[in-house]
Structure 1
Amino acid sequence: MEILPDFEFDWTAAEKSYIISSFYWGYIFTQFMGGYLCKLFGVKRVMIWATFCSGVCSAVTPPLINWGGWRAYCGIRLIMGCVQGVVFPSIYQHLARWSPLEERNRLGALSYTGVDCGNVLSMYVSGMIARSPMGWPGISYISAAVAFACCTLWIIFGSNNAHESRFIGEAERNYIETSLQHSENFHKAIIPIPWRAIFTSVPFLALLVTRCADIYGFSTLQAEIPAYMNGVLQMDITDNALFSALPFVASWTMSYVFMIASDILLKNKWLSLTSIRKTMSSFAFWIPAATFIVIGFLDVDQKTWAIVLMTLSVGFCTGSVIGSCFNIIDLSPNHASILMGIINTACSGMSLVTPLIAGAIVTDKGDRSQWQIVFIITSVIYIVINCIFLTFGTAVTQPWDAEDFLLAPHPDLAKPSSITTKLKNKAISNYSR
């Protein structure tokens, strides 16, 4: 949620747009770096420093705004974006180190619900703080306090993997280590990264375009549909706290629905992991694709339906968390942070491209036919890219993830040895289509 104290500072619309976008310009450039830093220093250190620096940036925001105005605000948000760009690659690497195969969907989905929970809470708590004697600076100071508290928790309880943790029993450690099938080298060596194998991997490339399409569509949901509702349906949902919170509540709720459903399907062996990924991804793409087209044909008298369809779309988009987000860990647990860095860099670009494409098409915000073109393009992208994922996607761990493959003198040309073959055969037997 963007908090702009523009009621106290007379900022123009252009200056506000610079402030909001400054965070994302920093965020897009450190995704890849975050994955590499996790490989060098471990997730715990990266997360501690990222959380601590975010807290510092938040704490110094009010005095810097008073000193340098909107330009200083842009600068601090740029730095904050750079710092927070390493967070998601770290989270994925952490999940890869800690999540047994049978619990990966559950633990991953639970971690993702924190994002929606934070969005919903921030909408109400931030408003309460701003109206309190602390005023808008209190939002920054309390956010900083929360960041420092989280940083402290990471220092005390965080561990890069179960092998290093002081707070779990031997039985739990053995269960996690056995499930992840890591060898002794996993904790002792920095495994070389097979760049050529990654960028020529068909399942990874299918996942890359799927994640980009998902973010393109979600950006349309977040930015363009509210703009359409304002221009064509003559309603501003940003002025209504309930309407603004509904999509986040739907996302939060549906994440549990998808999590429970995938757990039941996997536990009872009704579907393989690959089939679950593709099924959930299809829900996340096909239903929003249909709602995009329908929303484009609503008129002023059907505002309620617009709210319902938008909320429904955001809710079902959450299926991509189980469908494609955690497929990163399936393909390569050893290099999850690297893959996430690559994918999130590309996805961040989609967030920047979406408003540019919509802006080029929609010259009159009150012209429904122009908006219909935007929504149809998004729907076509959703359907085509999901078909690509259905054809080429898989939850089978790739041969280039195996340690002996990567530690060979020529990793991209190495022949899979017995360990690689075992890993691959076991993965195929458990999670093949």
Structure 2
Amino acid sequence: MVAKDKTAENSDENAAETSGPKLGVRHLQSILIFFGLCVAFMQRVNLSVAIVAMMDRNSTNPDFPEYAWSEQTKSLLLSSFFWGYFLTQIPGGQLAQRFGGKVMLLFSVGISGFLALFTPLSAQLGDWRLTCALRFLQGFCQGSIYPSTHTILARWAPPAERGILATLCFSGSQFGTIIILSISGTLAASKYGWPSIFYISGGCGIIWSFVWLLWGTDSPHQSKIITPKEQNYIESALAVISKSENNSTAVKLSTPWLSIFTSLPFWVLLITNCAYNWGYWTLMTQIPSYIKNVFGKDIKSNALLSALPYTANLVLGLCFCGLAQVLLSAKVLSTNASRKIFNTIGMWVPMAASIALGFVDAGSADLAVILLTVAVGTNSATFLGGFVNHIDLSPNFAGTLMGITNCAANVMSIIAPLVVGVIVTDTTNPIQWRFIFIIMALYYFIGNLLFITLGSTKLQPWNEPVKRDTNHEHIKFQVVAGDLEHK
């Protein structure tokens, strides 16, 4: 291949940025990942909704077993997934970097779906202990989903489209949650009973795996259906990535751990993601309890109200996606400004809503639900901000960065409910809940303040891989050995 000079390369990149196809295989990849995350979250949430029917002693369907599990056992069952999930975040990023995002995503969703099919049998054969072990394995498999997704996006998403394509991908998690919440009640009451919840979510995972195996690819040059125009558009916009891939046989990516952990933009991103997770999971896990105990309104028992925050998150996420596309296309915002503005919307609007929640009168349950929905819905703007910033900093190590930050962020999702348990000793006391909202608001405020002041979208110098040409090393060794022999 004839090498292009810098001028030609820059002109190609500029042309690619302006003449790329509006729709193409990169969007197909994002849609496939959307549905992959959809079925992954169906598998993640299925036990949370099925366990109600599994423990219902007053069930009208006697054909399926019921389990007299204690609340402690129930908590173990529901948390077992996340212990496995936590363990494979960083290894998942390394594996995606080594073997490619396609293989790891296929493994994560496919094996998790296969295990979901056996959940009813595990409960019958080994009661809660075997079910805990199976859920742990599911979480263990799914730990590489987000790092794999970032690894794929780093090779498929041109810089101007990173936020848009990432939002399209990550909205799948909300869609999957909405689907499983909406159909679980009907499935549990059907003649197939609560096991059908696991069969549907597991079966969808198996079907998706076959589709992904056929059409999913790690990068544009591996795709058999991409047009030359789109491939040139993507690879010209991602010059650093294309160079690494074109020399994949001679270049070995060595993770620059020291450079990563001494990078200020990386630490800012990690803190931002931790702050986001603290607020998001406090909202999702504790606010329904707050609304029930303080206002007497049980939104968990109402399928429509239960799915409302996730629906708002999905719809607003897609709206933000469209808005970002318009602003970036019109060159109203730079990439840096876009990341920081949308991250501010995704963290400071929920901050304001959470503070307002703490001061809502006891008779205004509907207002509390609206504020919860606004808070969770606007959280989706972070998909265009901090959530995709890993790829800005280092496309070559985006999966590894995501694994590290998501690992730390998941620690926050474990600690946050524990803090609620310590502070809120009386669940009907609105003053105690107010402290929770203030803590949550502080996390949101500090996390985003650091991101907009110290965060960066510049490609980091440690993104460049350490090059190891094995043939060159072999020749060098022969020369040195010959010199020594001559001496």
Q: Conserved in 1, the CA contact under 8 Å of 2:163 and 2:385?
A: no
Deviation at 1:408, TM superposition (A): 8.1
Q: Conserved in 1, the CA contact under 8 Å of 2:350 and 2:379?
A: yes
Q: Which residue of 1 aligns with 2:106?
A: 48
Q: Conserved in 2, the CA contact under 8 Å of 1:55 and 1:145?
A: yes
Give the TM-score normalised by the residue count of structure 2: 0.81
Q: 1:39 and 2:104 equivalent?
A: no
Q: Which residue of 1 aligns with 2:140?
A: 82
Name the aligned partner's letter for residue 205 of structure 2. Answer: A
Q: Distance in 1 between matches of 2:281 and 2:200?
A: 28
Deviation at 1:376, TM superposition (A): 0.6
Q: Distance in 2 between matches of 1:55 and 1:385?
A: 35
Of stretches 10-19 and 137-146 in structure 1, the one that deviates more from structure 2 is 137-146
Other structure's SS at 1:326 match: helix
Q: Which residue of 2 aligns with 1:282?
A: 344
Out of 404, 414, 422, the residue aligned to residue 342 of structure 1 is: 404
Other structure's SS at 2:364 match: helix
Q: Which residue of 2 aligns with 1:240?
A: 302
Name the aligned partner's letter for residue 124 of structure 1. Answer: S
After superposing on structure 2, the runs of 4+ consecutive aligned residues of structure 1 that deviate more than 4 Å are none
Of stretches 205-214 and 173-182 in structure 1, the one that deviates more from structure 2 is 173-182
Structure 2: state its 5+ residue gaps.
Answer: 1-44, 57-65, 470-487
Other structure's SS at 2:221 match: coil
Q: Which residue of 1 aligns with 2:69?
A: 11
Deviation at 1:118, TM superposition (A): 1.0
Of stretches 193-202 and 222-231 in structure 1, the one that deviates more from structure 2 is 222-231
Q: 1:214 and 2:276 equivalent?
A: yes
Select the structure of larger CA radius of gyration: 2
Q: 1:72 and 2:130 equivalent?
A: yes
Q: Which residue of 2 aligns with 1:398?
A: 460
1:220-369 map, 5 Å: 220-369=282-431
Q: Distance in 1 between matches of 2:107 and 2:283?
A: 33
Q: Conserved in 1, the CA contact under 8 Å of 2:291 and 2:369?
A: no
Other structure's SS at 1:318 match: helix
Name the aligned partner's letter for residue 232 of structure 2. Answer: N
Let me know the Cα RMSD of the aligned residues: 1.4
Deviation at 1:121, TM superposition (A): 1.1
1:12-31 map, 5 Å: 12-31=70-89
Q: Conserved in 2, the CA contact under 8 Å of 1:35 and 1:338?
A: yes
Q: Deviations over 1:301-346 (max 9, x none)?
A: 1111001100011111111111110111111111010000001100
Other structure's SS at 1:206 match: helix
Specify whether residues 228 and 210 from structure 1 end up closer, same or farther in structure 2 by C-alpha distance, changes over 3 A only: same
Deviation at 1:183, TM superposition (A): 4.2
Q: Distance in 2 between matches of 1:161 and 1:385?
A: 33
Q: 1:381 and 2:439 equivalent?
A: no
Q: Distance in 2 between matches of 1:291 and 1:184?
A: 46
Q: Deviations over 1:55-79 (max 9, x none)?
A: 2211111111101111111110000
Q: Which residue of 1 aligns with 2:28?
A: none
Q: Conserved in 2, the CA contact under 8 Å of 1:55 and 1:148?
A: yes
Name the aligned partner's letter for residue 79 of structure 2. Answer: S
Of stretches 40-49 and 247-256 in structure 1, the one that deviates more from structure 2 is 40-49
Q: Conserved in 2, the CA contact under 8 Å of 1:40 and 1:190?
A: no
Give the TM-score normalised by the residue count of structure 1: 0.91
Q: Deviations over 1:5-42 (max 9, x none)?
A: 22221111111101000000110000111101011211
Q: Distance in 2 between matches of 1:171 and 1:252?
A: 31
Q: 1:153 and 2:202 equivalent?
A: no
Q: Conserved in 1, the CA contact under 8 Å of 2:252 and 2:468?
A: no
Of stretches 190-199 and 213-222 in structure 1, the one that deviates more from structure 2 is 190-199
Out of 400, 404, 407, the residue aligned to residue 467 of structure 2 is: 407
Q: Which residue of 2 aligns with 1:137?
A: 195
Q: Distance in 2 between matches of 1:107 and 1:185?
A: 22
Q: Distance in 1 between matches of 2:229 and 2:106?
A: 28
Deviation at 1:380, TM superposition (A): 1.4
Other structure's SS at 1:10 match: coil
Other structure's SS at 1:363 match: coil
Q: Which residue of 2 aligns with 1:372?
A: 434
Q: Conserved in 2, the CA contact under 8 Å of 1:44 and 1:160?
A: yes
Q: Distance in 2 between matches of 1:324 and 1:62?
A: 38
Q: Which residue of 2 aligns with 1:430?
A: none
1:199-210 map, 5 Å: 199-210=261-272
Deviation at 1:127, TM superposition (A): 2.1
Q: Conserved in 2, the CA contact under 8 Å of 1:295 and 1:309?
A: yes
